Amino acid sequence: MKLSRRCFLSLSIGGTVGTALTPLPWKLTDDMSIWSQNWPWTPVPPDGAYTYINSTCTLCPGHCGIRVRKVDDRAVKIEGQEGTPLNQGGGLCPLGLSGLQLLYGPRRIQGPLKRDGERGKGQWKPISWQQAIDEVSRKLADIRSQGKPQSLACLTDSDTGTVPQLFKRFLNAYGSPNFFRMPSVEDAYESVLSLTQGVDGFAGLDLYNADFILSFGSALLDGYGAPPRVMQAISRLKEQNGTLVQVEHRLSNTAAKANVWLAAKPGTEADLALSMAYVIIAQQKYDTDFIGTHTEGFEAFVRMVQERFDPQKVAAYCGVEADVIVRTALAFATAQKPLAVYGKGKGQTAGSLREALAVHALNALVGNINRVGGVQAIPAYDYLQWPAVMTDETAAAGLQTQRLDRARSPEFPHAQAIVHRLFETVNASPGEVQALFVAEANPCYSLPGSANVQEAFDKIPYVVSFSSYMDETAMQADLILPNHVYLERYEDVPVRSGTTRPMIGLCQPVVAPQLNTRHVGDSVILIAKALKGAVAESFPWADYESCLQEALGDQWDAISDQGFWAAAESAPASLDNGFGTPSGKFTLMDETIGAVYQVGEPSAAGDASEYPLLLMPYDSIRLTSRYVGGTPFMLKTVADTVLKGQDGFVDLNPETAAHIGLGEGQAVRLSTPVGEARVRVHLDDGVMPGIVSIPRGLGHTAQGPFLAGKGVNVNRLIAPVEDPASGLDAALGIRAKLTKA
């Protein structure tokens, strides 16, 4: 049959019309839209049984109570645990809220890794846990057999709780005094409490009950202490019509929310505090009862203050007018419950001991020591009652050696650990450290002078990281024994920040371990056991969990049920026997303290003629600069005037910028005596002229695509400046210059 053109036309037209009249096109249209509503590549989270598990967040020293929502075996949301002493209001910070992005995120280490290639190149060979433990213990046995157990050093985030204490115990049994914890404002507070009150403990700041808070640069609303607790305290202060005064060179979020913002020049804060002391004394507004009965050295203190800290004199160089100093000092002294707070930013550096003492002296002048709404010295936690460490001869000899940082030596009697000295020592004499353990810390990123730290790492023959994440320090390791993340493990976390009430939070497994990781406590116990002898005998526990249960003893049941243990609400220690000083009194001034006041502030490194500006880092709660890096959700909150694409910004006062000829968003070269970086400029009227303000928490070189390569790590641009009084790093800023890129 021949298909004529006519026939073909009729067929095709008829076919088209016919098909259009069938339900087919409509069905297809409908199916297409249904398909678009259920694209297979758009995930559909499976539903299941809902449960809530209470635990404690360990991502910062705040240790807030958290409540994790689960659907079957998946954790789907972290919320604040309402109504606990750890977290009254139930709020939580951005980092705590986005913890699941760490748990399930791509920057985690899948299992034990052994370096396979050059250091820092990121070439790894997965090994078994057995191999990993064998490897470390063989290496450690080797070092020990050479009679140099002291050349093993360990760096962790904290020194309280079973995990840091297991490390410390391991070092003791092994024979090394070189246990280090990362620096923080606690270092300064410990020194202050020890010097003035003779107490070995931590400072409990009763922000919640104060009605006048005078903060010396503390980022109370940007991550200081336990962020939710501190923020609630400040909100309460506002509700009660209390006063917040912020002394800070920059209009930080805390300064923005303060009733009064005193823009004192960096480095003059101690002098400002002492000039306020001058006013309080001169106007007889100090607590005569407390000063008269419970202090010593008042006369000497008065003499020193009168001689050197007349507000007129101080006003001339600190940037705050004399009458403002007087007004603030009087308002502070006449408040019901005034509280002066020390600690720069989030409190991740020790800072100046002189300033810490001066601030504490203000509290003492108004009699606000060991009182509700004041500073309470809380004795160190003592719930870990472990049997004594077995020390064999090797260990005994090793423990006799001087700590590498000379902390707790006559030179620096009050410092627990001086971390920058550890790395300086390594750089000066490489043989001193043969092996380094790093747990829950990221010194290659978060220590000032991180370039020097990195250099020191190159000189340490054997580095073991216990990190859960492939961070900058893990990248420098020879062996990684990855820890569970906090949502997969048990851990006791004694609270030291933002509370006056001793509390132990329990971090408990919310989900089963997702990867081939192991609790760091178990790793330490296994390494000890593999070393045999006295070292092994010092670790009688089968595993970490039994060690923890034993440590918490009778409280275990209650704590694992509730998620925390809190000491009964009790009155602060009495003033009559609250001071451990020889005289039993609060020491306002003695020879040691006088010497600290006598030396000036450690000044920022660099020559002012070459580097006319001052680079000052600032803390933001939307970023994190500790062991754990920021999460993708947190990065959503970071403004495009802080980070844009890969470019990090510095904030400049428009006047300073105009002086150099810089405009908004312009790219510049930022140089300091220790490093340089390309940054962009953001103009901000909240920045003091002459200062370059830069955020902490950016500029990672590791930790995956969400973090790496974004912005500048300020620790690469600053260097430690040793406080002559404490030995601790007091560096906050450094001199700098900007040149057009």
Mask for 287-306, x = binds other proteins (CB under 8 A): --------------------
CA distance 295 to 290: 7
Q: How far is the CB of 61 from other proteins (least distance, A)?
A: 16
CA distance 108 to 515: 9
Are 695 and 617 in contact by the 8 Å Cβ rule? The answer is yes
CA distance 627 to 526: 24
Q: How far is the CB of 617 from other proteins (least distance, A)?
A: 18
Q: Which of residues 670-699 bind other proteins (CB under 8 A)?
A: 684-689
* Lookup: tokens for 114: 């052994």
Closer residue to other proteins in complex, CB, 253/376: 253
Closer residue to other proteins in complex, CB, 44/568: 44
Q: How far is the CB of 671 from other proteins (least distance, A)?
A: 24
Among 580, 632, 665, 724, binds other proteins (CB under 8 A): 632
Among 69, 265, 337, 659, binds other proteins (CB under 8 A): 69
Which of 505, 483, 436, 713 minimizes the C-alpha distance to 60? 505
Q: Check residue 221 for interaction with other proteins (CB under 8 A).
A: yes
Q: How far is the CB of 319 from other proteins (least distance, A)?
A: 8
Q: Residue 457: left if φ>0, alpha if ψ -120 to 50, beta else—which one?
A: alpha
Q: How far is the CB of 79 from other proteins (least distance, A)?
A: 6
Q: Check residue 4 for interaction with other proteins (CB under 8 A).
A: no
Q: Check residue 410 for interaction with other proteins (CB under 8 A).
A: no
Buried/exposed 246-270: b ≥16 CB within 10 Å, e otherwise: bbbbbbbbbbebbeebbbbbbbbbb
Q: Which of residues 40-59 bind other proteins (CB under 8 A)?
A: 41-48
CA distance 63 to 445: 22
Are 188 and 350 in contact by the 8 Å Cβ rule? The answer is yes
Mask for 412-451, x = binds other proteins (CB under 8 A): ----------------------------------------
Q: Check residue 37 for interaction with other proteins (CB under 8 A).
A: yes
* Lookup: tokens for 224: 């200081």
DSSP codes, 36-99: HHT-TTS--PPP--EEEEEEE--SSTT--EEEEEEETTEEEEEEE-TTBTTBSS----HHHHTT
Q: Which of residues 255-284 bind other proteins (CB under 8 A)?
A: 256-257, 261, 263
Q: Which of residues 123-182 bind other proteins (CB under 8 A)?
A: none
Among the listed ranges 209-217, 364-372, 611-619, 653-661, the one in contact with other proteins (CB under 8 A) is 653-661
Closer residue to other proteins in complex, CB, 247/356: 247
Among 599, 639, 658, 667, binds other proteins (CB under 8 A): 639
Are 510 and 487 in contact by the 8 Å Cβ rule? The answer is yes
Q: Check residue 323 for interaction with other proteins (CB under 8 A).
A: no
Closer residue to other proteins in complex, CB, 181/622: 622
Which of 541, 534, 178 minimizes the C-alpha distance to 391? 534
Q: How far is the CB of 38 from other proteins (least distance, A)?
A: 8
Q: How far is the CB of 517 from other proteins (least distance, A)?
A: 14
Secondary element (H or E) of residue 153? strand 152-156
Closer residue to other proteins in complex, CB, 222/471: 222
Among 66, 86, 97, 133, binds other proteins (CB under 8 A): 97
Phi/psi of residue 312, each to 5°? -60, -40
Q: How far is the CB of 306 from other proteins (least distance, A)?
A: 29
DSSP codes, 182-244: ---HHHHHHHHIIIII---EEEEE-GGG-SEEEEESB-TTTTSSSHHHHHHHHHHHHHTT-EE
Closer residue to other proteins in complex, CB, 39/574: 39
Phi/psi of residue 180, each to 5°? -125, 145
Are 207 and 339 in contact by the 8 Å Cβ rule? The answer is yes
Q: Which of residues 227-246 bind other proteins (CB under 8 A)?
A: 227-228, 231-232, 234-235, 238
Q: How far is the CB of 207 from other proteins (least distance, A)?
A: 13
Give Cα separations from 636 to 253, 639, 681 (angstroms): 18, 8, 20
* Residues in CB range of 194: below 8 A, 6 or more apart: 200, 414
Residue 292, burial from CB neighbour count under 10 angstroms (0-12, 13-18, 19+): exposed
Mask for 73-92, x = binds other proteins (CB under 8 A): -xxxxxxx--------xxxx
Among 123, 130, 705, 739, binds other proteins (CB under 8 A): 705
Among the listed ranges 252-260, 427-435, 498-506, 519-527, the one in contact with other proteins (CB under 8 A) is 252-260
> Judged by CB under 8 A, how many residues of this single chain contact other proteins?
81
Among 636, 669, 678, 740, binds other proteins (CB under 8 A): 636
Among 4, 22, 36, 284, binds other proteins (CB under 8 A): 36
Among the listed ranges 188-196, 284-292, 446-454, 629-637, the one in contact with other proteins (CB under 8 A) is 629-637
Q: Which amino acid appears at position 582 of this protein? A: P
Q: How far is the CB of 77 from other proteins (least distance, A)?
A: 6
Closer residue to other proteins in complex, CB, 164/228: 228
Q: Residue 204: left if φ>0, alpha if ψ -120 to 50, beta else—which one?
A: beta
Q: Check residue 109 for interaction with other proteins (CB under 8 A).
A: no
Q: How far is the CB of 367 from other proteins (least distance, A)?
A: 30
Are 366 and 286 in contact by the 8 Å Cβ rule? The answer is yes
Among the listed ranges 475-483, 606-614, 647-655, 712-720, the one in contact with other proteins (CB under 8 A) is 647-655
CA distance 380 to 494: 10
Q: How far is the CB of 734 from other proteins (least distance, A)?
A: 21
Q: What is the DSSP letter of 175?
A: T
Closer residue to other proteins in complex, CB, 581/701: 701
Are 399 and 406 in contact by the 8 Å Cβ rule? The answer is no
CA distance 488 to 465: 18
Q: How far is the CB of 740 from other proteins (least distance, A)?
A: 22
Closer residue to other proteins in complex, CB, 257/420: 257
Are 339 and 234 in contact by the 8 Å Cβ rule? The answer is no
Q: Check residue 94 for interaction with other proteins (CB under 8 A).
A: yes
Q: Which of residues 491-520 bind other proteins (CB under 8 A)?
A: 514
Bridge partner residues of 493 (DSSP): 505
* Lookup: tokens for 382: 């003592």
Closer residue to other proteins in complex, CB, 47/554: 47
Among 153, 329, 350, 643, binds other proteins (CB under 8 A): 643
Among the listed ranges 161-169, 250-258, 292-300, 725-733, the one in contact with other proteins (CB under 8 A) is 250-258
Closer residue to other proteins in complex, CB, 150/624: 624
Q: How far is the CB of 36 from other proteins (least distance, A)?
A: 4
Neighbours of 500 (CB within 10 A): 23
Give Cα separations from 419 to 153, 154, 166, 617 (angstroms): 11, 11, 19, 20
Closer residue to other proteins in complex, CB, 254/352: 254
Q: How far is the CB of 213 from other proteins (least distance, A)?
A: 14
Residue 481, burial from CB neighbour count under 10 angstroms (0-12, 13-18, 19+): buried
